[in-house]
Amino acid sequence: MKKYLILIILSFIFFLQHCESNPEFYSSSYSKSTVNTMDNYQFPTGTYFKYNFSSLSETIDCENEIERLKEESVVVKQAWYRSPLYGCSPPGSGWTTNTMYGAVFLVLLENPNDSISDEKYSTLTYAPNIGCGYEVTTYKLK
């Protein structure tokens, strides 16, 4: 039990380190919140792009990536990020799975006619789904 608790705490610390707040980023363009995508969460309609991570443990600096896309004239309407997890613990369950979950970074573009030509992204051909999405950070264009 201690082992799982330590893994959860370390995962949470890891998550916080890789999506740190940049006050300028939020005050100018985006609001940031945490959502539970596992409990009847409704993703907005549109075309989604998924960042293709190269390994289960790879992470991304969300704010820098959104800004990088903006510099390429791609405006992100909303983005969702869940860091890599070394087990999934549903809220209030008291247990953790032994499953490794890679990071997920999804973007929905402001202009539905835009696309991301970057090879790091692929277009989702199915409804968005974030495994173990109990604590997902979302960035929303103001």
pLDDT digits (tens, 9 = 90+) for 26-35: 446 899 999 9
73 CB-near residues (< 8 Å, 6+ apart): none
Query: pLDDT by residue (tens digit) across 62-87?
Result: 999 999 999 988 999 999 999 999 99
Average pLDDT over residues 83-102: 93
Rounded mean pLDDT, 108-119: 84
90: left (phi over 0), alpha (psi -120 to 50) or beta: beta
Joined together, the tokens standing for residue 126 give 């199915």
